[in-house]
Amino acid sequence: SQQGEEDPQALSIQEGENATMNCSYKTSINNLQWYRQNSGRGLVHLILIRSNEREKHSGRLRVTLDTSKKSSSLLITASRAADTASYFCAPFNGLGNDMRFGAGTRLTVKP
Amino acid sequence: EAQVTQNPRYLITVTGKKLTVTCSQNMNHEYMSWYRQDPGLGLRQIYYSMNVEVTDKGDVPEGYKVSRKEKRNFPLILESPSPNQTSLYFCASSLDRGKNEQFFGPGTRLTVL
């Protein structure tokens, strides 16, 4: 099965700065999804990027995908304190029930 | 409002006392799944269901049962809970596995004494 591995495990920045989180995976994918989780709450879907896409935007979020390196990155621009959360990637290769979450990146945005 | 609901949200119980955590979605989704989340381990899938009467094991199914008699409901059953099942549990649903976003419930925090 395929699991995304997020890096770094934890990230602390000041409000207004950009935050970049990375995700690596091992096999070819159909798509890769990013989710956010506020402390103790359910995950919320952020972006889905398909294997034939290289970049996708949603508001202050920018996701890139490099299938040759089997990696993806999530960039949050002009971060806010409300962006403080854990972020997870979930690669999906289209086979079986292959959508696994890693341990996530814990982002702290200081006001 | 499109949502996944779970009940109860919090539960403290004792070893061996059977319990059920309910999960319901109102989006007519075919795919539903259960996860547990433990510190440092991320989310691990317990069971999933591709459709009514179709269920399968995830990565950590031991000690759990599920059923999918109706499309909207996917209860998680702990026949004889043990302290190592103390965790935060999430139910999720989506149109299909992997190709679309998953909608997560608010979570159930279970403590087994």
Q: Going by DSSP bridges, is the β-strand pair A105-110/A10-14 parallel, antiparallel, or unpaired?
A: parallel
Q: Which residues pair with A109 in a beta bridge?
A: A13
pLDDT digits (tens, 9 = 90+) for A25-39: 998 889 999 999 998
pLDDT tens figures, A55-98? 999 999 999 999 999 999 999 999 999 999 999 999 988 766 56
Closest CA to B41 of A93, A41, A3, A15: A3
Contact between A74 and A55 under an 8 Å Cβ cutoff? The reply is no
The pLDDT mean for chain A works out to 92
Closest by CA position to B69, among listed B17, B32, B108, B106: B32
pLDDT digits (tens, 9 = 90+) for B27-50: 999 999 999 999 888 899 999 999
Distance from CA of A108 to the nearest CA of B (A): 17
Which residue's structure tokens are 């989780």? A37
Of B7, B44, B6, the closest CA to residue B25 belongs to: B6
Chain A residue numbers with beta carbons less than 8 Å from the beta carbon of B99 are: 30-31, 92, 94
Confidence grade of residue B100 (pLDDT, cut at 50, 70, 90): confident
Provide the pLDDT confidence category of residue A46 given band limits of 50, 70 and 90: very high
- What mean pLDDT, rounded, does chain B reach? 94
Q: Collect all residues of chain B within an 8 Å Cβ-Cβ radius of residue A21.
A: none
pLDDT confidence tier of residue B96, bands split at 50, 70 and 90? confident
Tally of residues, chain A: 111
Q: What is the pLDDT of residue A96?
A: 61
B99 dihedral zone (left: phi>0; alpha: psi -120 to 50; beta): alpha
Contact B107 A42 (CB under 8 A): yes
Q: Among all chains, which residue has been given the structure tokens 């499109």?
A: B2
In angstroms, the CA B1 to CA A107 distance is: 29
B51-74 confidence digits (pLDDT tens) = 999 999 998 999 999 999 999 999
Surface of A (14-73) touching B: CB under 8 A: 30-31, 33, 35, 40-45, 48
User: For position B40, what pLDDT does the model report?
Assistant: 81
pLDDT, average across residues B69-96: 96
Residue with more model confidence, B76 or A41:
B76
